[in-house]
Structure formats: C-alpha cells, structure tokens
Amino acid sequence: MSQQPQISHAEDNKRIAKNTLMLYGRMLFSMAVSLYTSRLVLNTLGVEDYGIQNVVGGFVAMFSLISGSLSAAVSRFITFELGRGDTTRLKQVFATSLLIHIALAIAVLLLSETIGIWFVNHKMTIPVERLTAANWVFQSSILSFILGLLSIPYNAVIVAHERMGAFAYIGILEVMLRLGIILFIAFSPWRFDRLIVYSILLAALSALMRTIYTVYCRRNFLECRTALRFDKACWREMSSFAGWNFIGSSSAVLKDQGVNILINLFFGPVLNAARGIATTVNGAICGFVNNFMVALNPQITKSYASGDYPFLFSLIERGARFSFYIILFLALPILFETDFVLALWLKQYPEHTVNFVRLIILLSMCEMVSNPLVTLQLATGKIRNYQIAVGGMQMMNFPLSYLCLAAGLPVESTLMVAIAVSLCCLMLRLIFLRKMVSGFSARRYMLQVCTKVLLVAICATLLPYLVHHQLNYGWGRLFAVGLTCVFSCSVVIYHIGCTATERHYLLGKLQALKQKLVI
C-alpha cells in the first residue's frame, strides 16, 4: 500500500521538473528578447508615447476584473476533473466555459466602446495632439484583450494536461514575431505614426496566437472538439465559484492597473513610463518563478482532488520556499545595482524608475510566499468567506494609494502600501486555510516557509551589502556584487534554506553531474 504513492510521487516530481525546464527554456529566450525590445520600444516611441501605450493598454486590462474570476474557475474545474478522471464532466466544463467567455467578450466590447472611450478621451492625462494615437491604442488593445479572453479555456486545457512543451514552443514563436514587429517599427524607412502601427500589429499578433492555440487544442484534446452545449448545473457551480472569486480578481486588477491610472491622473504619462519599465524588469525576473508555479499548480490541484494531503502540503511548502529562492538569486544583484543596470540597459530613463524597480521586486518577493496558498485555496472550491476577507483586504490598495497621493506623499508610497497589504493578505490566507483544509498547519507554514525565507534573505544580503559599499560605482562593482550574491545565496540556501532531505538530493544530483563531466 505504501509503495504505490511513492512511485506516483516520483513520476509527478519528474513531470514537474521536466515541465519547469521546458518553460525555463522559453523564459530565457523571452527574457533576452524582452529586455532588448523594451529598450528599443522606449527609444523608438519616446517616453511620452511609451507611457501612453502603457497606461491606455493597462486601462483596457482593467476589464480583466470581469474575466479574471471566471478564468480561475475554468482552470480549477478543468484540472480538478482531470484529477478525478471524469471525462464526461470535463467535456461539460470546457463547453460551458467557452460559451461563457464568448458572452463575456461581447460584454467587454460594449463596455469598452462606451464607458472606456469616454474615460480615455475626457479623464486621462494625455496630450491633445496624441489623443488620436491614444484612441488607436485603445481600440487595438480591446481587440487583443478579447482575443486573449477567448483563448483562456484553451490555455487552461493545455496547462491542466501539463503539455508545457506546446506552451513553450508557441510562446517562443510569439516572442519571435513580437521582436519582428518591434524591429519593423524601429527601422522601417517609411514614415508613419509608430505608436498607432505598433498597436495595430500587436492586435494582429493576438489574432494569430488565438488561432494557433485553438487548432492545437482541437487536434490534441477530445474535450475541445465537443459540441458547444450549455450545461446549467455546470454553470451554476462555476458561476458560484467565479462570483466569489470576482472579489479577488478585481482587487488584483485595482492593485496594478487601477493604481497605474491613479499615477496618470496625479503625475501624467511620464511616471507611467517609469512604472512600465519597472514592471518589465520585474516580469523578466518573476518569469522564472511563474514558470515554476505553472508546472507546479496542476499537481497541487490534482493532489487535493485525490485526497493525497501529505504530498499536497509538501508541494506547497517546497513550492513557496523555492519560488522565493529563485527570485532571490536573480533579484539580489539588481536590487544593489539598479541604477547601473538601468543605465547600461536603457542609457536614459525617467525619474523614479530606480525606486519603482526596487519596490516592485520587493513586492514580488513578498507575494511569492503566498502563491501556492492561492492555488490551494482555489482547489478547495470553498472560497466565499476567504475571498470576502482576503480580497477585501487586497482592495485596500486602491483607496489607500489614493489617500497617499492626495496627501502629497511621493509616488513610491503606492508600492509601500502594496507591500504592507500583501503581508496582511498572507496572514489572512494562513488563518482561513487552517479551517478550510483538514490537516493544514498555519504554524508549520510560518516556521518552515516564512521564517526560513526571511532568515535566508537577511543572511544572503550581508556579504553583498559590504562589497557594494566598499567599491566604487562601475563595472567592477557590478561583477563583484553579482559574484558575491551568487556565492552568498548558494551557501545560505543550502545550509539554512534546505531541509536535510533536500540537501541530500542536491548532493546526489551534483555527484551525478560530476561523474558525467569526468566521463
């Protein structure tokens, strides 16, 4: 009886590792291209147009507060039914979710073409001479958003089936085409409004990606070829889940895009550009962790569905710790050398960008500890009270940020608010999950995850901090700090951040690698 779960878990762990490696290959390529293209886009469009593209596109993304709750519901229900092995139910979930997203796309289109157009033209801080271009960006962003909305059920099926190879290859194709668009905009000999053409080509790229995902899923997954029949019982269950999850989805959108619009109203598009640059840097770093979680999340949901709680709790604790360790490895040198890295990357950048980068990275490090808990919460399906408390707390980002800006505090105060709210949400998640999941220990999570990652972060920072303050600004300090961060993080994570079992596993892998190199 005890041998079979061990075999199953070994296979699950191998699958997680394989899927993570595939997604990392995609991420490395995407990150390299993204860092190059971000600089190119900023230089080609200029700071003002870059800020307009960021804030107008971000305003359209606010409509994801409508779709985000249903997207989470689709992913949860598809993965859950795969974990139970119910094929009939799986077909019902997919067909119903696709019909719901079609209806949702129509609703988003109506809202965008009425309230959205009015807000962009009469409320946002946009120079009069760039209003026409801003409207083109708005319309193109609407089209891209709707096409992405219709792709959500198909993407959820790919992730639930853990076909990360397809995800990686399609993602690499998208990055290459996006690079081609940016190179065309930057070096084209023809004269045209670069912001307008850039936004139209991005919308065309969204249409192509939507087609590719649909064709792949219909060829490979039986549930995607089923007739579009609306299942009333399935709709009730999904809508109940999505209705309560709407609180969490809307709070997340308000935290990011809502605050971005506040910054536009108080300071204008230049600071939107600074925040956009910081978000790009943070996205490049967090992409490594996000890919790890994409590979891990289906196993968390399936383990909950099958009732394998010991393996479930092990996945959650290790997922949270190693997510934090990955981002610490990548972020620590950037936190120390932010100004030099930005100057090297962009040459010139808007004021406040350095502070934005550092604070957004710190916010992401706080949120990494909560990510597996969010997946577990969605897996339970019992989310009403949880979302009222945690989602309600996260919504405080928007009013508190407004109060800070209205009181004349610096723009960085919005991110300080976000960090404080994120820590409060972590505490609330632990309190609620202790009651929602039998056997889950909030105290153990605090000791095994929160305390460990905090201790690792403090100890790993000490040596790089000394090196940073002993050397002068320049290439020498960048290399010295980078090498010191790698050494310090490696030693501290191994001796403090890992359990005895994990240290034994790492030693075995290193010895196997050494033998291969010797041979």
Alpha-carbon gap, residue 201 to 196, rounded angstroms: 9
What tens digit of pLDDT does each residue of 116-131 get?
Answer: 888 888 877 788 888 8
What tens digit of pLDDT does each residue of 300-355 get?
Answer: 877 887 788 888 888 888 888 988 998 898 889 999 999 998 888 877 788 888 99
CB 327 within 8 A of CB 365: yes
CB 380 within 8 A of CB 241: no
Alpha-carbon gap, residue 448 to 453, rounded angstroms: 9
Alpha-carbon gap, residue 425 to 444, rounded angstroms: 18
Residue 265 phi, psi (nearest 5)? -70, -35
What tens digit of pLDDT does each residue of 210-242 get?
Answer: 899 888 888 888 878 777 777 777 777 776 666
* Per-residue burial over 317-340, b = 16 or more CB atoms within 10 Å of its CB, e = otherwise: bbbbbbbbbbbbbbbbbbbbbbeb
Alpha-carbon gap, residue 365 to 454, rounded angstroms: 10
| DSSP label at residue 385 | H
Q: Full-prediction pTM beyond 0.85?
A: no
Helical segments of 86-130, H only: 87-111, 117-122
CB atoms within 10 A of CB 391: 22
Q: Which residue has the tokens 């598809």?
A: 78
Beta strands in 290-374 (DSSP E): none
Helical segments of 221-268, H only: 232-253, 259-267
Dihedral (C-alpha) 80, 85, 87, 92: value to the nearest 10 degrees?
A: -20
Domain ranges of the chain: 3-518
pLDDT 10s per residue in the chain (519 long)? 333 444 345 555 555 555 555 555 666 666 667 667 777 777 788 777 877 777 777 666 666 555 555 666 677 777 777 767 667 777 888 888 888 788 878 888 888 888 888 888 887 778 888 888 888 988 888 888 888 888 888 877 887 777 767 777 887 888 889 889 888 988 888 888 888 898 899 889 989 988 998 888 888 888 787 777 777 777 777 766 666 666 666 677 677 778 888 888 888 777 888 888 888 777 777 766 676 676 677 778 778 877 888 888 888 888 889 889 988 988 899 999 999 988 888 777 888 889 999 999 999 898 888 888 988 887 787 777 877 888 888 889 889 999 999 999 999 999 999 999 999 999 999 998 888 888 888 899 999 999 999 999 999 999 999 999 999 988 999 999 999 999 999 999 988 988 888 787 777 766 765 666 555
- Residue 54: CB partners within 8 Å, gap ≥ 6? 260, 269, 272, 273, 275, 276
Token pair belonging to 344 = 């090297």
Is 56 exposed, middle or buried, given 0-12, 13-18 or 19+ CB atoms closer than 10 A? buried
